Structure 1
Amino acid sequence: MDVRLVLCLLWALLATASARPSSCYQSMPGESNAVTNCRSGADSCIAVQEVNTLGGVVQRGVFQSCTSSLISLEGDLDFEFAEGVYVRVHSEMCRETNCNTGEKRERPKISTVPNGGQCPSCYAPGSHRCLQNVTLHCQGAANHCVDVVGTLSENGVEIPFAARGCATQDVAKIKAGDILVSGIFIYRIKSIQLSPAPRPEIEDGF
């Protein structure tokens, strides 16, 4: 192979590996999006869509910004804490300028097909302890049990919470001490545990 071709290919690979956006879309809940220049520590653009029912009603929000891939998470970070009580977060990162476009794509519908797993469930806003547990039948891709304690804040107001329930595998990316900025709340994670949801044994009978 021609030496010049090898050098060109090597340069292209290095340029791709070090590519980073010069700017990204930025938006917070309740604000219109705008383009912002990224600082030197940011190597990606991020777009986070959240829908939750933690306040008793469906809340939706989008967060967009420059970010560092070393401290941000992507994937489907879904929690089901009780029947009708959930937090569903879809996060994507990209490395081209303004690639976290302002066009909000509709997230695929969440599967409600039972997967056979069961987990203890609760949601206790204002407390770091779950005082009761109810068995929750897991659905779709939420095939793990989660136990999480932390705080959530909105508009400068922060409250503690504790929760248990079913979750997706991507939740394993969340570690104690993480601060997660989503489309609605800022979550500060004090502790989190994730394990495969057990399936109850079915006894044969006549």
Structure 2
Amino acid sequence: MKCPLCNRRKGIRHCPALNSLICSLCCGTKRRRTIICPDDCVHLIAGREYQVQRINDFEPLEEIRKLSPDFLNNIEQSIILVRDTRFRNLLDREVKEGLENLLKTIETAERKIIYEYRSTNPRIQIVTDSVKQMIEKQQKGEDGLRPVSVEETKACLMAIIVTLRSLVRQNPESTIYLDFIHRYTQGIIRKSINSLNPPKAGKIIY
């Protein structure tokens, strides 16, 4: 049976959205674009898991995570806070645009020019504002945070932006990076809680 989407390759994956067998290429390239995939689709879940692993291994982000793990984590927490509290359907490209504006503002200030790059899209602007507020706190060393330089700030932002550009180029509706940092930051929080409250012998921690 041929794939009903391309009518060329053999349909080998069951697509719950179409209730039909489709080829793996159409499944991978058209999911969440022309195919309205349900969240529990096994192929969608597997694809996300694969992309998450790719992000974890993405060289710019991997390198900066080694050099500035605390600062990068704080930036990512300020990003995911926007999705968790304001816009549940926030997209990677909106985060990318918000961070690009912030980076341009920082680079412009280095040239002694006071100009703030802003977006007319409130979703993008709120991302910018959230990250900017966190960065300013860390640059000043407030709340016991390690003070960071402008160069370190730019390096962290650029590493995230490069990662997002790659993901958005493949899929403008991507949420892969946001899904990744949600899991990553939640994992750090759980480790922190467990270190403060070590489990008793025989107790299973989920």
* TM band (smaller chain): under 0.3
Write 1 or 2 for the structure with the bigger share of strand. Answer: 1
TM-score normalized by structure 1?
0.22
TM-score normalized by structure 2?
0.22
Write 1 or 2 for the structure with the bigger share of helix. Answer: 2
